Amino acid sequence: MAVRALHLLGSPVLRQRSPEVARVDDEVRRFVADLFETMDANKGVGLAANQVGVATRVAVVDADDQRFAIINPKVVSTSGPREAEEEGCLSIPDLFAEVGRPARVVVEALDEEGQPIRIEAEGLLARALQHEIDHLDGILFIDHLGPMKRQMLVAKYKREHPDAGTVQARPAEPAARPE
């Protein structure tokens, strides 16, 4: 196991949609162990593969007393009201903003053994799952903000991290996604 370096806002891998894992094997399990160790070292509640520079559909989550890996995750459904809660991101240090997300989510994925799992979550776990799956799709929490708020936060980030690479804007998405 190893703590891997985090990729920060401006790193192109954070804006890529990660391809699926073809086969869950020992190499993938070692990578999952590295993700857990990196997440723990940085005091996170989740971490996606592209946050350590690896474009593959693998993430780990540790929230609401549940700790697991998700491989090739898919959001099957969301429900409940959109709840606005403060979010941050290990790849965008020191920035936080309220993000509205559905209260409940159902996710299907593979576990570390390559077995199918189905996770029905609400609260912090639902938020963490949606946040990490967004990462795997090249979406950052700031992309859920209005343009003015996003612009202010990115400007603040650039001031506080002048050595960061070029911060890439995410193209505007069509209106809200169906839920």
- From the list 98, 113, 132, 179, the catalytic residue is 132
Using CA atoms, how far apart are residues 16 and 19, in angstroms rounded to an integer? Answer: 9
Q: What tokens were used for 73?
A: 């995750």
Tell me if residue 173 is catalytic. Answer: no
Using CA atoms, how far apart are residues 83 and 127, in angstroms rounded to an integer? Answer: 9
Using CA atoms, how far apart are residues 177 and 67, in angstroms rounded to an integer? Answer: 28
Phi-psi region of 44 (alpha: psi -120 to 50; beta: other; left: phi over 0): beta
Question: Buried b vs exposed e over 18-34: b needs ≥16 C-beta within 10 Å?
Answer: beebeebeeebeebbeb
**Which sequence positions are flagged as catalytic?**
132
